[in-house]
Structure 1
Amino acid sequence: MVSHGGNERTLRTGLREIDRMASALGLPQAVTETGSMVYRRIHDEGFLHGRTIEGCASAALYAGARIERIPRGIAAVVCVSRVERKRIERAYRAMLKEFRLGVPPVEPTDVLPQILTAVDASSETESAARQLLREAMSTDTFVGRYPGGVAAGVVYCGAVRPNRGSHRQNSPLQRGSPR
């Protein structure tokens, strides 16, 4: 009978956790693979020492979603994880600091599809919102702003625009945001 060391068991357990959570969240395979690669890396470099397998697996999955630009908040990962939010956040911050994973910041374009789906926006509203967001992003008006709020704002503006023509002479985005 072949016995596997605790190190290999730890790796298998973490990868199974990532698969389970990704499945529960309905994440694409690319996210699962990226999260698994992150987990393997932190496992191989001894990062797990003193941390829970589940917390690190949850943080790796969250990092995988961020790297693949699939907008899932940490709250979504917490809902399917077996550990509390604090442990996941702590592991995620430490992973970012120690491994420089190249996690891009969340952009409004990343969360726009979720918001459009959540409000069951018409195709006309969706088109207007995407155009408004392109305009906003080209002017750097919203750099560093809360991406979910910006995306929700353009959906709202796209929905209430009385003139849906391509010329947006009096667009709230062209006037600038109130400070």
Structure 2
Amino acid sequence: MTVMVHDKGLSTDIGWGSRDIYGNNVPTKNRSQVYRMRKWQNRTRASNSADRNLAQALNELNRLASKIGLHRQVREEAAMLYRRAVQDNLVRGRSVEGVAAAALYGACRRCEVPRTLSEITEASRASKKEVGRTYRYISRELKLNLQPASPAVYIIRFCRELELPGYVESAAINILNQAIEAELTSGRGPTGVAAAAIYIASVVYDQRKTQKTIADTVGVTEVTIRNRYKELAKNLDITMYL
């Protein structure tokens, strides 16, 4: 049984190959019959509007997850969130693409997988504004009570994408921990704080990456990095030679 199929995989599946269960080629005279059976299978699987909506949404979830590179656990969590939204009548008047993207973002948060809203909306057919608004709505209505993602998970991910050595990653996490202790991260976006900590660590250890390079990798603006790194360096008494 799988939540990634709208009927949870409980129905019989007629495959799309040209061979039977024993591996033999289906005779040409029978292929049109098999084609009709497949077509009716698809129709009966999604026989009402709710089923069709769910089938379309799960296809969109799979498409998004494949494009972003998300593993099965996140996909199944997103499917469960979408099903809950359907059961609570939260999808009416909203696009399938917007709710699917919002469910996937919520699943990433629940599974502590570091993916930003921007990354998901870039792969989605819905706008960032729509996905963000829908995510906040279903999160509130389903009482998900999701905590903000820790900047640490973004530091680990983006240091590796930037090909920075392990000691720079460790230094960036240490800077982050000091910032948390000094209450400098409150009200700040986790990706902006992570980007600033990475930038400071890369400069201190002479493994420099430009603000633009880090901004493009993390998905924040150079202005955000400048504001955050200056704030951290000043309050944590970190000397940087630029």
User: What TM-score, normalized by structure 1, do the two folds share?
Assistant: 0.81
Q: Where do 4+ consecutive residues of structure 1 move more than 6 Å?
A: none
Match of 2:76 among 23, 33, 38: 33
Following superposition, the deviation at residue 84 of structure 1 comes to 2.6
Give structure 1 stretches of 5+ with no counterpart: 163-170
Q: Distance in 2 between matches of 1:72 and 1:138?
A: 25
Q: Quick check: 1:46 aligned with 2:89? A: yes
Aligned to 2:10: none
Q: Distance in 2 between matches of 1:126 and 1:60?
A: 30
Mean Cα displacement is larger for which, 146-155 or 103-112? 146-155
Deviations 1:67-94 (A, max 9, x none): 2222222221122212233322232122
Q: Quick check: 1:96 aligned with 2:139? A: yes
Q: Which has the larger radius of gyration?
A: 2
Aligned length: 169
Q: Quick check: 1:134 aligned with 2:139? A: no
- Name the CA shift for 1:160/1:61 in 2 (closer, same or farther; >3 Å): same
Residues 38-117 of structure 1: pairs in structure 2 closer than 5 A: 38-117=81-160
Q: Distance in 2 between matches of 1:89 and 1:143?
A: 20
Q: Distance in 2 between matches of 1:58 and 1:130?
A: 30
Q: Distance in 1 between matches of 2:82 and 2:171?
A: 40
Residues 5-20 of structure 1: pairs in structure 2 closer than 5 A: 5-20=48-63
Q: Distance in 1 between matches of 2:168 and 2:127?
A: 38
Aligned to 1:143: 186
Task: Name the structure, 1 or 2, with higher relative contact order (CA <8 Å, separation 6+).
Answer: 1
Following superposition, the deviation at residue 26 of structure 1 comes to 0.2
Q: Distance in 2 between matches of 1:75 and 1:121?
A: 23
Q: Distance in 1 between matches of 2:52 and 2:192?
A: 42
Following superposition, the deviation at residue 150 of structure 1 comes to 1.9
Q: Distance in 2 between matches of 1:55 and 1:36?
A: 14
- Name the CA shift for 1:86/1:131 in 2 (closer, same or farther; >3 Å): closer
Contact conserved, 2:155 with 2:169, CA < 8 A, in 1? no
Aligned to 1:166: none
RMSD: 2.4
Mean Cα displacement is larger for which, 99-108 or 139-148? 139-148
